[in-house]
Amino acid sequence: MNDGSWLRSNNDLILSTPRGDTVSLGYHYTKSLIEQINVSLMAKINKEITVSFTLKENVLESRTVEQTYAVTYQRQCWGVTAGLTKSHDDQQIYVALSLFGLGGYGMGLN
């Protein structure tokens, strides 16, 4: 029998500017299992440098699932990203090299 309540809901709102800045807000819910809010911000500092921040928050357990801070330097055919990711029980510093059209490689420290 349907009691009129939602069993699952996934909602995302993404706003972007012509320059390439973006803001993303997400709400994900599965009854008695998941209630999570996601926020992502990305700002183009100039043509080559982008900074970003991502936050994932578990509403049911009142805790931060993950936070990520990153800086990307991008040239015409390659780019490098350095970042820090924190979760409730782990922390990682990483560097990733991307060769556009070929793939990427990254290393992290826990």
Phi-psi region of 47 (alpha: psi -120 to 50; beta: other; left: phi over 0): alpha
pLDDT of residue 31: 87
Q: Report which DSSP code applies to 7.
A: S
Q: pLDDT, tens digit, for every residue of 46-99? A: 999 999 999 999 998 989 999 999 999 999 889 999 999 999 889 999 999 888
DSSP, residue by residue, 33-95: TEEEEEEEEEEESSSSEEEEEEEEEETTTTEEEEEEEEEEEE-SSEEEEEEEEEESS-EEEEE
Q: Which residue has the higher pLDDT, 110 or 54?
A: 54
